[in-house]
Chain A
Amino acid sequence: AQSVTQPDIHITVSEGASLELRCNYSYGATPYLFWYVQSPGQGLQLLLKYFSGDTLVQGIKGFEAEFKRSQSSFNLRKPSVHWSDAAEYFCAVGASGGSYIPTFGRGTSLIVHP
């Protein structure tokens, strides 16, 4: 069975500092990996996705993520955080087999200090 772990429930950073949100997955086949962002009162919006090719993936809003098969990780990064990045971030692994159901991590809440 596939699973996703986001070890950090909350992350606090200062505006302008760099950011890394961790995501570890468990999946037997080639994973399809996603990062979503949820602003307060909103639904989830796709930041970026990985399914093959270059292991460094660029997304919207200046985010990037790196797929590391050996570590079963797909960490999200941003070099300089803006106050508007404060939100909930979800990592998800999609199915490449028979299941149509993606698995989500429990989310990491990002707090940005001015």
Chain B
Amino acid sequence: NAGVTQTPKFRVLKTGQSMTLLCAQDMNHEYMYWYRQDPGMGLRLIHYSVGEGTTAKGEVPDGYNVSRLKKQNFLLGLESAAPSQTSVYFCASRPNRRTGDNQPQHFGDGTRLSIL
């Protein structure tokens, strides 16, 4: 009963390095989301996807790229990490709208990323 799994859980990078965060869900959900959480800022949406092969920008997309090549996976990439990207990153998923607009999101446990 995994739900939403994020890897890695922790990572420290140097400025300018690149990395990819992986989100995997086993609930056959159509929609997936990447958020960042910073103190006092709540959750801010980076990118989201409404289905395999589709992605869209959220509130704070700059400096990030995403891909949804498989329905169960949603990857978040940092091409050239900056200290301002130090944050906790959360992935979420939810069923498509045919199951109802009242469906909540399911969240992973987060990836804690530090950029030095």
CB distance from A2 to the nearest CB of B (A): 12
In the complex, the answer to whether A51 meets B102 with C-beta atoms within 8 Å is: yes
B42 pairs with A32, CB closer than 8 A: no
Contact A42 B109 (CB under 8 A): yes
Question: Quick check: is A46 within 8 A (CB to CB) of the other chain?
Answer: yes
Residues of B within 8 A of A46 (CB): 104
Judged by a CB distance under 8 angstroms, whether B24 is at the interface is no
B48 close to A100 (CB less than 8 A): yes
Interface residue stretch chosen among A62-70, A71-79, A102-110: A102-110
Least CB distance from A89 to B in Å reads: 11
CB pair B101–A32 under 8 Å, yes or no, is yes
CB pair B4–A32 under 8 Å, yes or no, is no
Count chain B residues whose beta carbon lies closer than 8 angstroms to a beta carbon of A. 23
Q: In the bound complex, do residue A101 and residue B102 qualify as a contact, i.e. CB atoms below 8 Å apart?
A: no
Instruction: Report A37 CB to chain B, min CB distance, Å.
Output: 11
Task: Identify which of residues 16-48 in chain B touch chain A, using a CB-to-CB cut-off of 8 Å.
Answer: 31, 33, 40-43, 45, 48
Q: Is the CB of A101 within 8 A of B43?
A: no
User: Considering the chains assembled together, what is the distance between the CA atoms of A41 and B107 in angstroms?
Assistant: 12
Residues of A within 8 A of B33 (CB): 101
Question: Does chain B have a CB within 8 A of A26?
Answer: no
* A101 and B58 form a contact (CB under 8 A): yes
Chain A residues lying within 8 Å of B48, measured Cβ to Cβ, are 100-101
Q: Knowing A51-B102, A96-B101, A100-B50, say if A43 contacts B40 (CB, 8 Å).
A: no
Instruction: Report 25 cross-chain contacts, Cβ distance below 8 Å, ordered by A residue.
Output: A32-B101, A36-B104, A41-B109, A41-B110, A43-B90, A43-B108, A43-B110, A44-B92, A49-B104, A51-B100, A90-B42, A90-B43, A94-B101, A94-B102, A100-B50, A101-B33, A101-B45, A101-B48, A101-B58, A102-B105, A104-B43, A106-B40, A106-B41, A106-B42, A107-B42
Known: A32-B101, A43-B109. 10 other contacts (CB 8 A): A36-B104, A41-B109, A41-B110, A42-B109, A43-B108, A44-B92, A49-B104, A51-B101, A90-B42, A100-B50
